[in-house]
Amino acid sequence: MFNRALTAAEVQSMQISPSGTTEGGNIAWYKCDEEDGTTLSDASPNSRDAGIVAATEGDASLWTPTYPGYLAALPEDTVLRLGPPRWAVYGGDKDTNTWAPWYTQHKIMRGLLDAYYNTDNKQALDVVTKMADWAYLALTRGDKNHPDYKGNLTRDDLNYMWDLYIAGEFGGVNGVFPEIYDLTGDAEHLDTAKAFDNRESLFGAAVQDDDILVVTPDKIPGRRRQARLHANTHVPQFIGYLRVFEYSGEQDYFDAARNFYHWVVPHREFASGGVGGSYPGSNTNAELFQNRDNIANAIAKDGAETCTTYNMLKLARNLFLHEHNATYMDNYERGLFNMIPGSRADTSNTANPQLTYFQPLTPGSNRNYGNTGTCCGGSGLESHTKYQETVYFRTADNSALWINLFVPTVLTWTEKGFTVSQETEFPRGDTVKVTMDGNGQLDVNL
């Protein structure tokens, strides 16, 4: 564990030896070479030993996988029980309930893909491909070892799963399978991505641009969905749908993502770029979507959930790559500057990540920091490592440059022979100086 971002060369060096060229983590270094006991020793000078939580608590049979390729810190059973015949719901009973198990799969698979892309780690690709093979079986054959098993999962079964509050939350896992399809050529992975389509109560409406994020109880589509949908459950789904479009060419997936985005922006987004709030008299959960065009009435002490903004930024960025519409970047800038930097406390802490879950909106409210193990704690750790990723874009033919954000930066464009720098104090100041050094023609879009 480090207190800085490692270079690509440093990451690659650790494929050769445990510490590579880094001399080990300067926060903590767990070699995980203990042969017994419940302690992981810290090999750094900081003596931050860690405890091992027993992974076989409860029935050991839960840890025997039904299909090969499963990888997670939760028993495979917590995933399979979401579907038939048990239809597990969200709750705290570890033996019968489940809690967004596909969300966890997404984070692990996304990390493995990134490890492959950024360091050419072939083992990471092999592991994530086997996880994808497992996912295909889990979503087609299902819980086959259960005594009440009736046969393969149907489209109707899948729709019923994804309509379930929290338990059916799958993050953006549908976005990793098209990439694995592209890397392997195995069309089953694209089928797996489409298995996550929420076709009973949301996907079709998004294709038709029929805003049903909030409906009255007598008009609820689907058998298990809520009248008011949970924001951060659904935003990453549409990031995934956009990825399906990119690798399949099926227009419905692009239309669904674009229409959904415009249901939220500007109709449900605060000036800060946050989404959520509480609608008096009908909604006291600030994680849910507010009524369309009723933003002022939804301002609440809890305010906006940070990782909903994290995902809305991703969706805006990816739509911009297709449409080159500057309004996407305007909104990206709004959410980035208002919601993300302030989501991390300006302090050093080894006990928790010091990140916000909600960012309050009412006068006199203050942020609370912490969030070990929450969704906002995880996405928040990532957010503060990638401020640079959207400042500049180039066209595929290298003929044009987009300056999307006004951030003090230096871009060295070696292939084009240009260096571009920005000097600015934005948003505290209202001027920016852009200096370009190079020869030749270059179209620049601000």
Residue 51 has pLDDT above 80, yes or no: yes
Please indicate, yes or no, whether residues 338 and 238 belong to a single structural domain of this protein. Answer: yes
Please indicate, yes or no, whether residues 276 and 364 belong to a single structural domain of this protein. Answer: yes
Q: Is 63 within the bounds of a domain?
A: no
pLDDT of residue 59: 64
Please indicate, yes or no, whether residues 94 and 216 belong to a single structural domain of this protein. Answer: yes
Split at pLDDT 50, 70, 90, the class of 57 is low
Distance between the two ends of the chain, CA-based, in angstroms? Answer: 38
Question: What is the number of residues in the chain?
Answer: 446
Run of H or E residues at 423: strand 418-424
- Residue 253 CB contacts under 8 Å (≥ 6 apart), including other chains: 241, 242, 244, 245
Please indicate, yes or no, whether residues 406 and 294 belong to a single structural domain of this protein. Answer: no
Q: Which amino acid is at 202?
A: L
CA-wise closest residue to 29 among 11, 49, 12: 49
Residue 74 has pLDDT above 80, yes or no: yes
Please indicate, yes or no, whether residues 386 and 424 belong to a single structural domain of this protein. Answer: no
Split at pLDDT 50, 70, 90, the class of 412 is very high
pLDDT of residue 282: 62
Q: What is the pLDDT of residues 340-350, one digit of tens each?
A: 999 999 888 87
Residue 62 has pLDDT above 70, yes or no: no
List the domain range (segments joined by +) for residue 28. 1-54
Split at pLDDT 50, 70, 90, the class of 280 is low
Q: Is 192 within the bounds of a domain?
A: yes
Quote the DSSP letter at residue 4. Answer: S
Q: What is the pLDDT of residues 206-218, one digit of tens each?
A: 999 999 999 999 9
Mean pLDDT of the 70-79 span: 91
Of 348, 375, 392, the residue at which a domain comes to its end is 392
Residue 113 has pLDDT above 70, yes or no: yes
Cα 11 from chain centroid (whole Å): 22
pLDDT of residue 378: 86
Please indicate, yes or no, whether residues 253 and 280 belong to a single structural domain of this protein. Answer: yes
Q: Is 62 within the bounds of a domain?
A: no
Of 373, 392, 411, the residue at which a domain comes to its end is 392
Q: Is 271 within the bounds of a domain?
A: yes
Q: Is 64 within the bounds of a domain?
A: no
Buried b or exposed e, range 65-100, using 16+ CB within 10 angstroms = ebbebbeeebbbbbbbbbbbeeebbeeeeeeebbbb
Mean pLDDT of the 40-49 span: 92
Report the greatest alpha carbon distance in the chain. 72
- Number of structural domains in the chain: 3
Please indicate, yes or no, whether residues 276 and 336 belong to a single structural domain of this protein. Answer: yes
CA distances from 87 to 66, 72, 195 (A): 17, 20, 17
pLDDT of residue 348: 83
Please indicate, yes or no, whether residues 354 and 419 belong to a single structural domain of this protein. Answer: no
CA dist., res. 91 & res. 81, Å (int): 13
pLDDT of residue 3: 82
Please indicate, yes or no, whether residues 28 and 125 belong to a single structural domain of this protein. Answer: no
pLDDT of residue 6: 85
Please indicate, yes or no, whether residues 83 and 178 belong to a single structural domain of this protein. Answer: yes
Q: Is 183 within the bounds of a domain?
A: yes
Please indicate, yes or no, whether residues 360 and 424 belong to a single structural domain of this protein. Answer: no
CA dist., res. 385 & res. 234, Å (int): 24
pLDDT of residue 248: 97
Q: Is 60 within the bounds of a domain?
A: no
Please indicate, yes or no, whether residues 370 and 426 belong to a single structural domain of this protein. Answer: no
Q: Is 195 within the bounds of a domain?
A: yes
Q: What is the pLDDT of residues 349-385, one digit of tens each?
A: 878 889 999 998 888 888 899 988 888 888 888 898 8
